[in-house]
Amino acid sequence: MIFNEVDFAEKKYKNSTFGKHSIYFDFDVSDYCDHQIKKCTFPFYETLLKFMNENPTKKIYMTTKQLSENFEKIGNETYLINFQEFQRFCKKLDKRVDRANAFFRQEVSLENIALSSEKRGNFFASATETEIIERINAFTAEQKKNLLEQLICIDDIELPKKELENYSDEEFLALFPEILKDSNKKKIVLSNYSQIQISTLEEYVKLLKNNLGKNETFIQNWIDCKIDNFNKEISLTDKDKKKLKKSRCLIFGLEFIAHKREGNISLKRFDLLTKLSEGRSEYALIELKSPNAEVFKITEKVNVNEGKSFEYKLSDDLARAIPQILRYRDNLESKPPEDEDWNRIGLKKERIGKCIILIGTKKQDDSLWENHFSSLRRSFSNSLEIWTYSDLIQKLETTITNLKNNL
């Protein structure tokens, strides 16, 4: 889920014990409230007020959309909480327990809260060995060389004495299972890995910013490694192309792995199917539209008072993309595990947990456009999300910041 403050509505709460505080929601909280007393109070809200009373700089945002964890930390002061998971967690605890603090401390200490989906995939100390090796396996030859050069300089890590360019892919990957069993060595690998990842993501942010005027063919050709960052044709071996393609798919988020491009479903071709991180039995389906495409078709009208008004409708590109991606999802999920379409894609059949349409850019400093876009995103179910390329750039920049902060 991409966090955007404008998608949330503020609700103010006043409590005789814990004072006045605001909680923000991207759904209608009244659906979960006690309508008899006509207040937007919901079960266990008071424990959050207590938490905010004790931590006056903290802000609480509640969502019913799926998160990679029960809650995510956005920056240093903001907490994004899955509403249903918070309810389920609190119901399990005795009423004498400080539920909010227990909720935030259920996995790690309060100031080291589990990071959000795009940050959690950054392979800090909580990453599994399988996750780390999966990402390292996607390294290009240049990234592999950079990582080995850094590790060779570390006394605690012993590597075979041979020239870096002489490591085969199999030998390169074979280095890590034994190293990662040692927690201290694992931290060293992660730190050096993150430095390489930062450089790669910064390159991709620059690419996206420089090409927001391009069409979807440019984006598809770049992901497929048919062109370089300057729109010039490149020629790679199948092996190098496969590795570079994995690396370029990182633009969608480090939480996504095992990307499959343009798979066939009943003679129709989806853009991208990707697994929602290691250990999760579901996929995300991504439909790519142009960075220069419009989200809305906007018509200006002159009213009877000779004033102006603006009519917002879904653009043709977005209006076509919504039923298209949902049809792809339904077709995939309706097929049995042994179906030839799943076999062609090369993935085990699982649930399609998320559909994402990537289209256009935000209209900067246009509050009316922002309000309509926020309303549009809130109107969809948890399984369908609309991202702009502006959102994608912000997501990558947030990931880079958190990588740097956690080196």
pLDDT, one tens digit per residue, over 227-286 is 998 889 998 888 788 878 888 888 988 778 778 887 666 656 788 888 776 556 788 899
* pLDDT higher than threshold 70 for residue 402: yes
Q: Please give the C-alpha separations between residue 206 and each of 16, 201, 212, in angstroms, as whole numbers.
A: 51, 9, 11
Average pLDDT, the chain: 78
Calpha distance 138→275 (Å, rounded): 15
Instruction: Average the pLDDT over each of 137-141, 227-231, 311-315, 361-365 and give the range with the smallest value.
Output: 137-141
The predicted-structure confidence for 330-384, as pLDDT tens digits, reads as follows 888 888 877 777 777 777 778 888 899 999 999 878 888 988 888 888 777 667 8
Spatial CA neighbour of 363 closest among 354, 371, 355: 371
What pTM did the predictor assign?
A: 0.62
Distances (CA, A) of 299 to 296, 304, 311, 342: 9, 16, 5, 43
Contacts of 38 (CB under 8 A, 6+ apart): none
In this prediction, residues 133-137 reach a mean pLDDT of: 66
Spell out the domain ranges in the chain. 5-114, 134-405
Mean pLDDT of 102-111: 50
Q: What is the pLDDT of residue 165?
A: 62
Residue 287 confidence (pLDDT):
92
Give the residue with greater pLDDT, 126 vs 17.
17
Confidence (pLDDT) at 399:
83
* Whole-angstrom distance, CA of residue 55 vs CA of residue 60: 11
Q: Which residue has the higher pLDDT, 385 or 126?
A: 385
Q: Which two tokens stand for residue 307?
A: 């004033």
